[in-house]
């Protein structure tokens, strides 16, 4: 058996099919883009002529779009697909020889990340199909909340029943909530039915206790008295000011810590790192680094899995998949992390906020993988501990995975806790390389992207694994404003990565492949695409109203490249979307959100980054809510747009929408009065088309402004505000031009 085993690979990679055809298509599109550029350059109105500056602006925008399009080709040029052979791995390794795996779950606020959701995630990973003594689960609570601690304490007791139940009946998924809503009732063994009822009852009781406590904002007195852990909270603790709270709720080394069947349980640890107002805590990156240190003293697993608190495990075998990459004798040693896609449980069929990241997950990350590996996106990612801590790649980095790290510990759990606590103090990192050369990087709202990039710059590869059965499922935002806020954080972060010392544009030069550099740039330039997009959605419409033509006539030969680029680009994008499993309406929604993100989130991200550079603002981390109230939820299910708080971002959207409506109406009026019918379809057809499409795609905004009566509509003062702003823009353009 042994000899046969050592030579067979544990994973396989395949290049995408149809690459030659795709590349040819790309070349034709690129040529057409060059013609568009040529048209703009050759036809610039002369000095003093009407529309010179508008034209030059348009040239700038089209140059940018063309260049950006080239960048996006890097993500499509060389796609790679992977599959694993888990059974070979389990043949090759004895249970005792498997590496330890430490799972880090991060939470930060019990009001928008409900404790019951958090422990469902925790339970789903505790129930992984992996030897318990090799598995440890750490919950980092940046909210420093005793409610979360209470929930975790409850979960530690429930786990004693839940894990054996999962093991016995091989259930999937292993997040209790998700499991109870999906159980197929018919195919159960009579034995299971009884146990199912029992476990369900236990779960419901626990859930009630936790939800009651969360609702009241207070722990039941008897529970508080029963567990000494609560004594670490006193009247002065708050989320911004408290000492380190570290509790090993289940110590895997403790022979008494067993489930109801008498088997060892995985280690379970609660950590609220020390917080003091005068020390920056660096958000999730700070939490992760504290976890890295604390875990190194407790379980020190060679593999670290990082999850956001809403991302439960949907496949109990994912650890095996990840290990196939790391332990493959031939190619595994250069892989630093294995990223799974971010998938979401709550997306609706046509995904109105395009939160399922369909194309990114099913196309673009495979493209990055073809050039050296995907980015790290913060959740659903397995890391090697040493590379996360800053180890550089050298050819002799081959790590020996096999080995029994099972030493006997002489210290008691309490001693271990006390000894470990200082590792999570505010001052620990002073004068160290943490947040810089070690651990996750500080100072960037997308700590994940910048950290992953720096690991790749250290010479490592990463792997993207996108299995059929989703490995992790999370909660996507359910309102427009939340989506915009999330994307503002992402695009701002990515833009900062571009300007940082780890910039994919210069620092990464020569350290990672050119394709990967361009791939990263695609995301890093999100923020800057806002300017040309805003220009394109405003100026041509205003010119249309004024009667200034900016595009070639239908009868001109120059019309052809425009027609080709527009149709080829959109037909391709629709095909790609459908191939990823989307719907036609979903694609249309995707185009809308594409526009909204670019004209609001990215625009504000751009401005904020500049302000931050000049020292005016500090960037923070606005946590995405994972709860939705019932009313909002109902509208979300029906795919009715929910606008949420009316932020300045939404004002930009409504103003642009209103402006296009004005321009469109003005032109239609002229046509009706028969003034310009001929000029319109001759000279201004494309411009008219652009304006009309903008009006059509903005339909939900007009509905939200004028037609809807429900709570999710836009506030009426926004009608006035955007009306005045749009009117102002139209009149000043008419007067000044």
Ligand X SMILES: O=c1ccn([C@@H]2O[C@H](COP(=O)(O)OP(=O)(O)O[C@H]3O[C@H](CO)[C@@H](O)[C@H](O)[C@H]3O)[C@@H](O)[C@H]2O)c(=O)[nH]1
Q: Smallest distance, Å, CB 11 to ligand X?
A: 25
* Residue 259 assigned to a binding site: no
Binding site for Mn ion (CB under 5 A): 308, 624
Let me know: does 368 contact 75? Beta carbons within 8 Å. Answer: yes
3-state secondary structure of 320: helix
Phi-psi region of 382 (alpha: psi -120 to 50; beta: other; left: phi over 0): beta
3-state secondary structure of 714: coil
Residues in the chain: 737
Q: Smallest distance, Å, CB 309 to ligand X?
A: 4
Q: From 632, 443, 420, 597, select the one nearest 523 (Cα to Cα).
A: 597
- 153 vs 484, beta carbon nearer ligand X: 484
Tell me the pairing of strands 303-308 and 101-107.
parallel
* Residue 488 assigned to a binding site: no
With a CB cutoff of 8 Å and minimum separation 6, the contacts of 713 are 643, 703, 704, 705
Q: Smallest distance, Å, CB 475 to ligand X?
A: 8
With a CB cutoff of 8 Å and minimum separation 6, the contacts of 325 are 10, 11, 82, 84, 332, 335, 338, 463, 465
Q: Write out the DSSP string of 100-151.
A: PEEEEEEE--TTTS-HHHHHHHHHHHHT-SS-GGGEEEEEEETT--HHHHHH
Which run of H or of E encompasses 270? strand 267-272
Burial of 609 (0-12, 13-18, 19+ CB in 10 A): buried
- 33 vs 605, beta carbon nearer ligand X: 605
- 263 vs 428, beta carbon nearer ligand X: 428
To the query of whether residue 448 is one of the catalytic residues in this protein, the response is yes
- 233 vs 472, beta carbon nearer ligand X: 472
Beta bridge partners of 275: 242
Q: Smallest distance, Å, CB 625 to ligand X?
A: 8
To the query of whether residue 681 is one of the catalytic residues in this protein, the response is no
Q: Smallest distance, Å, CB 37 to Mn ion?
A: 40
* Residue 113 assigned to a binding site: yes
* Residue 142 assigned to a binding site: yes
| Residue whose CB is nearest to ligand X in the complex, by number | 378
Binding site for ligand X (CB under 6 A): 106-108, 113, 140, 142, 283-284, 287, 308-309, 377-379, 445-448, 486, 489-490, 493, 621, 623-624
Rounded to 10°, the helix 602-613/480-499 angle is 40
Burial of 567 (0-12, 13-18, 19+ CB in 10 A): exposed
Our separate counts of H helices and E strands in the chain read: 28, 12
Q: Smallest distance, Å, CB 439 to ligand X?
A: 14
- 151 vs 697, beta carbon nearer ligand X: 151
- 79 vs 482, beta carbon nearer Mn ion: 482
3-state secondary structure of 268: strand
Q: Smallest distance, Å, CB 141 to ligand X?
A: 8
Q: Smallest distance, Å, CB 139 to Mn ion?
A: 16
With a CB cutoff of 8 Å and minimum separation 6, the contacts of 203 are 158, 162, 176, 180
- 142 vs 315, beta carbon nearer ligand X: 142
Tell me the pairing of strands 267-272 and 335-339.
unpaired
Q: From 357, 359, 348, 363, select the one nearest 585 (Cα to Cα).
A: 348
Beta bridge partners of 248: 269
3-state secondary structure of 306: strand
The catalytic residue among 448, 494, 590, 608 is 448
Distance between CA 508 and CA 357 in Å, rounded? Answer: 26
Tell me the pairing of strands 245-250 and 135-141.
unpaired
- 108 vs 518, beta carbon nearer Mn ion: 108
- 142 vs 642, beta carbon nearer ligand X: 142
List residues with catalytic annotation.
142, 448
Annotated binding-site residue numbers: 113, 142, 284, 308
Annotated binding-site residue numbers for Mn(2+): 284, 308
Annotated binding-site residue numbers for UDP-alpha-D-glucose: 113, 142
């Amino acid at each position: 058996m042994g000899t046969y085993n050592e030579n067979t690979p544990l994973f396989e990679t395949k290049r995408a099919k149809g690459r030659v055809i795709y590349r040819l298509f790309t070349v034709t599109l690129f040529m057409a883009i060059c013609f568009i550029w040529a048209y703009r350059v050759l036809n610039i109105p002369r000095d003093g002529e009407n529309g010179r500056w508008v034209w030059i602006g348009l040239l700038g925008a089209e140059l940018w779009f063309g260049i950006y399009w080239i960048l996006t080709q890097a993500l499509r040029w060389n796609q790679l697909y992977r599959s694993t052979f888990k059974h070979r791995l389990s043949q090759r390794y004895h249970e005792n020889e498997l590496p330890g795996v430490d799972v880090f779950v991060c939470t930060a606020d019990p009001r928008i990340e409900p404790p019951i959701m958090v422990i469902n995630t925790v339970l789903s990973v505790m129930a992984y199909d992996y030897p318990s003594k090799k598995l440890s689960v750490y919950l980092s609570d940046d909210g420093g909340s005793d409610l979360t601690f209470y929930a975790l304490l409850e979960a530690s007791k429930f786990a004693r029943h839940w894990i054996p139940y999962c093991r016995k009946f091989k259930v999937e998924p292993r997040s209790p909530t998700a499991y109870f809503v999906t159980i197929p009732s018919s195919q159960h063994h009579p034995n299971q039915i009884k146990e199912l009822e029992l476990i369900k009852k236990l779960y419901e009781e626990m859930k009630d206790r936790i939800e009651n406590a969360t609702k009241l904002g207070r722990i039941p007195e008897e529970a508080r008295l029963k567990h000494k852990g609560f004594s670490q909270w006193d009247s002065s603790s708050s989320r911004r000011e408290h000492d380190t709270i570290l509790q090993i709720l289940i110590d895997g080394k403790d022979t008494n810590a067993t489930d109801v069947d008498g088997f060892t349980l995985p280690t379970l640890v609660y950590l609220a790192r020390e917080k003091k107002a005068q020390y920056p805590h660096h958000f999730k990156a700070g939490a992760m680094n504290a976890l890295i240190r604390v875990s190194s003293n407790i379980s020190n697993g060679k593999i670290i899995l990082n999850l956001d608190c809403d991302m439960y495990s949907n496949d109990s075998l994912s650890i095996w998949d990840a290990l196939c990459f790391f332990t493959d004798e031939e190619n595994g040693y250069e892989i630093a992390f294995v990223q799974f896609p971010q998938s979401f449980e709550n997306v609706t069929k046509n995904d109105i906020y395009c939160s399922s990241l369909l194309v990114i997950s099913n196309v673009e990350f495979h493209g990055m993988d073809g050039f050296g590996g995907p980015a790290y996106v913060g959740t659903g990612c397995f890391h090697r501990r040493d590379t996360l801590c800053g180890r550089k790649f050298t050819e002799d980095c081959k790590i020996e995975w096999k080995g029994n790290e099972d030493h006997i510990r002489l210290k008691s759990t309490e001693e271990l806790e006390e000894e470990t606590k200082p590792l999570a103090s505010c001052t620990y990192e002073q004068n160290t390389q943490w947040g810089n050369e070690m651990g996750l990087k500080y100072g960037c709202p997308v700590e994940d992207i910048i950290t992953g990039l720096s690991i790749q710059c250290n010479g490592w590869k990463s792997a993207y694994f996108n299995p059929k059965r989703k490995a992790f499922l999370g909660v996507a935002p359910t309102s427009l404003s939340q989506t915009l806020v999330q994307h503002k954080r992402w695009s701002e972060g990515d833009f900062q990565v571009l300007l940082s010392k780890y910039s994919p544009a210069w620092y990464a030069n020569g350290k990672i492949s050119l394709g990967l550099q361009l791939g990263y740039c695609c995301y890093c330039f999100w923020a800057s695409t806002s300017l040309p997009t805003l220009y394109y959605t405003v100026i041509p419409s205003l010119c249309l109203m004024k009667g200034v033509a900016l595009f070639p006539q239908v009868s001109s030969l120059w019309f052809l490249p425009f027609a080709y680029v527009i149709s080829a680009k959109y037909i391709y994008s629709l095909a790609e979307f459908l191939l990823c499993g989307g719907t036609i309406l979903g694609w249309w929604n995707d185009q809308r959100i594409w526009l909204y993100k670019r004209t609001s989130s990215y625009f504000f991200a751009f401005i904020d980054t500049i302000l931050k550079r000049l020292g005016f603002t500090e960037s923070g981390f606005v946590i995405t809510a994972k709860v939705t109230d019932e009313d909002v939820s109902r509208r979300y299910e029906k795919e009715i747009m929910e606008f949420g708080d009316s932020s300045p971002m939404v004002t930009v959207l409504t103003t642009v929408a209103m402006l296009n409506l004005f321009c469109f109406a003005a032109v239609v009026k002229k046509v009706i009065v028969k003034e310009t019918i001929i000029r319109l379809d001759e000279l201004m057809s494309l411009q008219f088309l652009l304006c009309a499409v903008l009006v059509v795609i903005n339909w939900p905004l007009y509905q939200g402004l004028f037609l809807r009566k429900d709570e999710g509509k836009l506030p009426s003062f926004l009608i006035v505000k955007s009306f005045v702003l749009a009117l102002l823009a139209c009149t000043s353009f008419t007067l000044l031009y």
